[in-house]
Structure 1
Amino acid sequence: MTEQITDEQSTDGRGDFDFFFGRWHGAVRKLADVSDRDCTEWVEFEASCDCAPILDGLGNFETAIMRPGGEAVAGATLRLFDPTSRTWRIWWMSTRLPGVLDTPVEGRFEGDRGVFEGPDEFHGKPILVRYEWDLLGADKVRWAQRFSWDDGATWDDLNWTTIWTRLP
């Protein structure tokens, strides 16, 4: 049985991440130590990912491989859409912290930009983390991360950014 999608469902936000379905190559640039607010040294490496819809379009799942310093790190992202609040929740997990599912960030897209924020912890200190998605064209997107150490009053400059380019 195929479920019929209503006009409201097609515009409620559940399709916000449809652009990311498929295979992607990532050019990653991150601060060498994202927890050091005075760090100015950047490291660059490559990544790849695959993203597919789940739960009849109410979510998607992404698997990624990153190679910082040549070492392969596997990661995965679970994104779930809540039609009642019209928001997305995003969970991250990786082989760097086996058995740990990060606390989700939450937010939505406004046009070609999505902002998602949530609580986190760095070296025992509570912080807020922000993920930013910027659509740069049909086959290019930027994902970025920032931290707030003062409960959202101010946000640090970017500490991690990836330019994703769609693979054929």
Structure 2
Amino acid sequence: MWRIGILTASDKGARGEREDRSGQAIREFLSPIGGQVVCYEVVSDDPARIRDALIRFSDREKVDLILTTGGTGLAPRDVTPEATRAVIRREVPGIAEAMRLASLEKTKFAMLSRGVAGIRGSTLIINLPGSPKAVRECLEAVSPVLSHALETLKGTFGDHD
């Protein structure tokens, strides 16, 4: 069972003015891949708060996978990719590319998504868009490789034949 952290970046969500439907969409998606949510937080679109939560989930809570939602667009307060880059050691660009490509098949606006994916220690971090529909589309695009990625990251996957 994979230990999962969900981090929602939303000013309105952090103030209790908006229900976190994107975080709920992530939760609904995790059961089939054997994920258990052990950390969940809604933070404002503040780089320091996002960085702190990512570090805490990864380093203290030892989650295997952090899925963020929100803050990946072009608005001035959309800073999730920058906060993520500040804490990861290596990027995994193919994940973000695959999500954008899958989303582009549905909407031209997908090219405006700036989400990234990367590794901190033994934790994989993936930025998802802020809408529940986009969250589901992106997770569908990457779900076939998530277990393999996490097994490889943990050193539990065998040799490639």
TM-score by length of 2: 0.31
Structure number with higher helix proportion: 2
Which has the higher Rg, Structure 1 or Structure 2?
1
Structure number with higher strand proportion: 1
